Amino acid sequence: MDLGISGLSALVLGGSRGLGFACAKALAAEGVRVAICGRDRAYVEQQSQVLGPDMLGIAGDVSDPASRKAIFQACQEAMGRIDILVTNAGGPPPGPVESHAHSTWLAALETNMLAALDFATMVLPGMKEARFGRIVNITSFTVREPYPNMGLATGVRAGLTGAMASLAAEVAPIGITVNNLLPGLMDTGALVRVYRAQAEREGISMEEAKQRMAESVPMKRLGTAEDFGAVCAFLCSRHASYMTGQNVTVDGGLVKSLL
C-alpha cells in the first residue's frame, strides 16, 4: 500500500534507538526524508546513514529547552517545513509514587510532557500554512491501564495525553492530525534492562525472565520494533486523515480496558 507520504519531511525525537528508530525506519522506507535526534552525536549521525544517504542526524537533548530550539532550527534549516513530527523520550524512573522527589517530577514533566508540547508548537506554523501535518506521540500502555510503581511515568504521560487531545481538536479543521502510540511490552533495550533486573532480583536466567514477560501477553510474545514502526507510518499517512485524538495501543492484547 502506498501511504502517500513520499517526499515529505519528518522529525523523529529520540530517533536513534528503540521504538523511535523503528518509526524513523518505517517512514524512510515510505520515501520520507527523516531527521532523527539523540544525545550521542556520533551514534545519531551513524544511525541516520543507516536510514539512507539523505537522512539527517541531529545531536541534542530534548529535556533541555534551549537544546529543543536548536534541534528544531537545525532540522528546519536542512529540510524546510516539517510535515511529520514523532515525539519520543526515555521514560522516567519506576518506583512508588511517594518515593520520587519534587525535582524528579519536574525533570519527568520537562522530558516527557513539555518537550513534546514545545516541538508541536514549533512545527505547527508550517503545518498550518501547508494545511497538512501529522503529529504522533509515543507514550505508554500504562496511560490506559496504570501499573504499580509506574505512577511517575503514567502521570506525566497522562498529562501529555490530555494536552494533545485538546490540540487535536483545535487543529483538526486544517488537515493536521494528532495521535498517540502506546507501546506495550516491546523487546527493545529498555525492556531488556527490566527483565535483566528481574532475573538478578529473583535469581533466574534472563531468558526465563523474558519468557515470563512474554507469557503475560495474550499473543504470548513480546512486541518487535517492526510491529511498532509500521503502525506509526500508517498514522502519518494520507490514509489516516480521518483519525485524530486517538490513543492507539500496540501491545499484543496486553491492556484489559474495554475502550
Range of the domain at 50: 9-184+225-250
Q: What is the pLDDT of residues 23-52, one digit of tens each?
A: 999 999 999 999 999 999 999 999 999 999
Q: Count structural domains, the chain.
A: 2
Q: Is residue 76 part of a domain?
A: yes
Share of residues in the chain with pLDDT > 90 (%)? 88
The predicted pLDDT at position 152 comes to: 95
Residue with grid cell 511515568, as numbered in its chain: 153
**Whether residues 245 and 196 fall in one domain:** no
**Whether residues 50 and 177 fall in one domain:** yes
- The answer on pLDDT for 93 being more than 90 is no
**Grid cell in block for residue 202:** 529473583
Q: What is the pLDDT of residues 65-80, one digit of tens each?
A: 999 999 999 999 999 9
The predicted pLDDT at position 116 comes to: 98
Q: What is the pLDDT of residues 107-146, one digit of tens each?
A: 999 999 999 999 999 999 999 999 999 999 999 999 999 9
**Whether residues 70 and 144 fall in one domain:** yes
**Whether residues 137 and 212 fall in one domain:** no
- The answer on pLDDT for 244 being more than 90 is yes
Q: Is residue 89 part of a domain?
A: yes
**Whether residues 177 and 215 fall in one domain:** no
Q: Is residue 40 part of a domain?
A: yes
The predicted pLDDT at position 193 comes to: 79
Q: Is residue 259 part of a domain?
A: no
